[in-house]
């Protein structure tokens, strides 16, 4: 027996009054903050709202307050036309059998960081401060990758144009040293990442590229557990 039009209307009205329940953002944020960031690339595929939540400042504030900070590696691969950034993520288990067989094994894959556009990477000028990766170019331009939202922004340019340069971090300051393009003399400058201001500092003898740096193959771990370089 088919239902009457009145019953259909009542059923439709009840469905409208009882939509699919959703968790408040505060609860979702609290739950996701307790997960390793290695799961974030997979979670970002769930929905647009999840992607927005994973890039929100509230999530990283919750991670910091709850003590769930960690270090995360970032790998840059450069081609003739583009610089691609990657970060490790947990490889999703295909089925329950895989979980039981490999419960003691952890498999990871490189997930490409989705950004609108990435400036050319200058590897001797890559440093991490907190959740930011600074890319200091030879033309004195400075770009910053926010590892929380995976977006690029511009920072104040180096006061002098350097032909070759190296950069390192001490505390929350970025030290850049290299050869001045016009005078061919050594030149050094320091960026205070809090105030985003540059100042000149005295510079002694420098090696090629400026400051003596650690091997770039070594991973540098960023504070706040959000970025590092490989």
Residue in the structure block whose two tokens are 């999530």: 59
Q: Which residues of 182-208 are buried (b: 16+ CB within 10 A; e: fewer)?
A: eeeebbbbebebeeeebeeeebeebee
Q: What CA–CA distance (Å, rounded) separates 174 from 197?
A: 11
The mean pLDDT value of the chain amounts to 75
From 141, 123, 143, 138, select the one nearest 74 (Cα to Cα): 123
**Dihedral (CA of 195, 198, 199, 204) sign:** positive
Which tokens belong to 112?
């490409």
Per-residue model confidence as pLDDT tens digits over 179-207: 877 777 888 999 999 999 999 887 765 44
Per-residue model confidence as pLDDT tens digits over 145-181: 988 888 899 999 999 888 888 999 998 999 999 887 7
pLDDT of 28 over the 90 cut: no
Region for 140 from its dihedrals, namely left if φ exceeds 0, alpha if ψ lies in -120 to 50, beta otherwise: left
Greatest mean pLDDT among 1-5, 137-141, 222-226 lies in 137-141
Grade residue 60 by pLDDT with cuts at 50, 70 and 90. Answer: confident
CB count in 10 Å sphere of residue 31: 11
Which tokens belong to 195?
């105030």
pTM over 0.75: no
Which tokens belong to 201?
């500092």
Which tokens belong to 199?
């100042």
**Which is more confidently placed, 46 or 220?**
46
Which tokens belong to 212?
């003596």
CA angle at 20 for the pair 16 and 24, rounded to the nearest 5°: 120
Domains of the chain listed by start with CATH number = 22-67 (no CATH), 123-229 (2.120.10.80)
């Amino acid at each position: 027996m088919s239902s009457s039009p009145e019953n259909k209307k009542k059923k439709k009205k009840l469905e409208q009054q009882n939509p699919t329940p959703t968790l408040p953002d505060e609860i979702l944020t609290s739950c996701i903050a307790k997960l390793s960031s290695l799961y974030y690339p997979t979670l970002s595929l769930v929905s647009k709202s999840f992607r927005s939540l994973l890039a929100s400042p509230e999530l990283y504030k919750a991670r910091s307050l709850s003590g769930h900070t960690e270090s995360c590696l970032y790998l840059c691969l450069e081609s003739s036309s583009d610089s691609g950034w990657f970060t490790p993520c947990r490889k999703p288990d295909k089925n329950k059998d895989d979980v039981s067989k490999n419960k003691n094994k952890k498999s990871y894959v490189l997930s490409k960081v989705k950004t609108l556009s990435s400036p050319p990477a200058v590897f001797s000028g890559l440093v991490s401060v907190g959740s930011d990766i600074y890319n200091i170019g030879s033309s004195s331009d400075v770009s910053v990758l926010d590892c929380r939202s995976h977006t690029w922004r511009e920072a104040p340019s180096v006061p002098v144009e350097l032909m070759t340069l190296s950069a390192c971090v001490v505390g929350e300051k970025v030290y850049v040293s290299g050869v001045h393009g016009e005078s061919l003399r050594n030149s050094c400058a320091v960026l205070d990442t809090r105030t985003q201001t540059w100042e000149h500092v005295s510079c002694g003898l420098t090696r090629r590229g400026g400051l003596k740096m650690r091997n770039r193959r070594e991973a540098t771990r960023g504070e706040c557990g959000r970025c590092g370089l490989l």
